[in-house]
């Protein structure tokens, strides 16, 4: 379903400012896999998602989605397979457009482009149904400007926009990190429900180790451009935050433990 094969990526290669972000990374996701990603600051987590989304082109290696080699496609071309939610609530929605206009744009970016979604249902009914599942009352505010929504509501809308067209792969990059703990918990719950409801395949980066353990069926830990650990199935279910911290300390030889971003 998603195959990341031997991908390497450096910024400013062959200069004094060279930053190697990914070193020979391989990762394979089956249909319905939900992989959470943790790791120190600068580990390459966002770069990995950006490479999958076609935003950055790998220097070496390839990316495959549903058996198609998408390595050389533009991010626009890849966007029909991919749904994304970023950390910044302002990044995912256009403030001057209404909720339904935002959702219509999300629709036009996808493989549903040009098709009517349902034969008997109007778009508006579908938008309303999707928003209803959030239980935030947004289904009654279809013509309200997205800019009027709170950060948490905008992230919830971004999540709906990224998922209601059933993308092949959902990419979440610290999408709860900018929210207060209560809203973050709400978006975490909605993420879990939405992924399950649409049976999505997902990659989620998080600084929150509880969240990384709570969501998904697999967990990977990255450090300095490499995947250094993976937990799956029962091992993931049994693992605790302390286990993750100990493992991270072992992998980084203690040096990583001063990295507060992983401890938060």
Ligand X SMILES: Nc1ncnc2c1ncn2[C@@H]1O[C@H](COP(=O)(O)OP(=O)(O)O)[C@@H](O)[C@H]1O
Rounded Cα distance between 164 and 78, Å, is 17
Q: Is 165 in the site for ligand X (CB under 6 A)?
A: no
42 binds, among ligand X, Mg ion, none (CB under 5 to 8 A by kind): ligand X
Question: Minimum CB separation from ligand X for residue 206, in Å?
Answer: 11
- What is the pattern of x (binds Mg ion, CB under 5 A) and - over residues 46-75? x-----------------------------
Rounded Cα distance between 238 and 205, Å, is 20
- Give the count of residues interacting with ligand X (CB under 6 A): 11
Residues from 32 through 61 that contact ligand X (CB under 6 A): 39, 41-47
**Of 20-28, 44-52, 101-109, 157-165, which part binds Mg ion (CB under 5 A)?**
44-52
Across the beta sheet with 202-205, the strand order is 82-85, 169-173, 202-205, 34-39, 218-223, 226-232
Six-digit token pair at 110? 């996808």
Nearer CB in complex with ligand X: 190/220: 220
Asked whether 253 and 224 are in contact (CB, 8 A), the reply is: no
List the one residue out of 152, 163, 150, 211 whose CA is nearest residue 187. Answer: 152
Question: Minimum CB separation from ligand X for residue 78, in Å?
Answer: 17
Looking at beta carbons, which residue is closest to Mg ion? Answer: 46
Rounded Cα distance between 37 and 171, Å, is 11
Rounded Cα distance between 150 and 60, Å, is 41
Q: Is 201 in the site for Mg ion (CB under 5 A)?
A: no
> What residues line the site for ligand X (CB under 6 A)?
11, 19, 21, 39, 41-47
> What residues line the site for Mg ion (CB under 5 A)?
45-46
């Amino acid at each position: 379903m998603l195959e990341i094969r031997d991908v390497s990526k450096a910024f400013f290669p062959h200069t004094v400012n060279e930053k190697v972000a990914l070193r020979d990374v391989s990762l394979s996701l089956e249909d319905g896999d939900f992989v959470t990603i943790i790791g120190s600051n600068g580990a390459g987590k966002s770069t990995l998602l950006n490479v999958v989304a076609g935003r950055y082109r790998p220097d070496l290696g390839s990316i495959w989605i549903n058996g198609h080699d998408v390595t050389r496609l533009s991010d626009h071309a890849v966007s029909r397979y991919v749904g994304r939610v970023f950390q910044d609530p302002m990044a995912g929605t256009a403030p001057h457009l209404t909720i339904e206009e935002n959702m219509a744009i999300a629709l036009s970016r996808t493989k549903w482009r040009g098709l009517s979604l349902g034969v008997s249902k109007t778009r508006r009914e579908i938008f309303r149904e999707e928003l209803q599942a959030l239980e935030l009352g947004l289904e009654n505010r279809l013509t309200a400007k997205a800019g009027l929504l709170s950060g948490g509501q905008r992230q919830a809308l971004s999540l709906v926009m990224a998922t209601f067209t059933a993308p092949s792969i959902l990419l979440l990059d610290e999408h709860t990190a900018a929210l207060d703990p209560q809203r973050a918990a709400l978006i975490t719950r909605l993420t879990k429900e939405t992924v399950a409801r649409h049976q999505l395949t997902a990659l989620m980066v998080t600084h929150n180790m509880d969240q990384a353990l709570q969501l998904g069926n697999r967990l990977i830990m990255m450090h300095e451009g490499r995947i250094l650990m993976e937990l799956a199935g029962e091992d993931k279910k049994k693992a605790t935050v302390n286990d993750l911290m100990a493992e991270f300390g072992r992998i980084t030889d203690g040096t990583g433990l001063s990295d507060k971003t992983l401890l938060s």
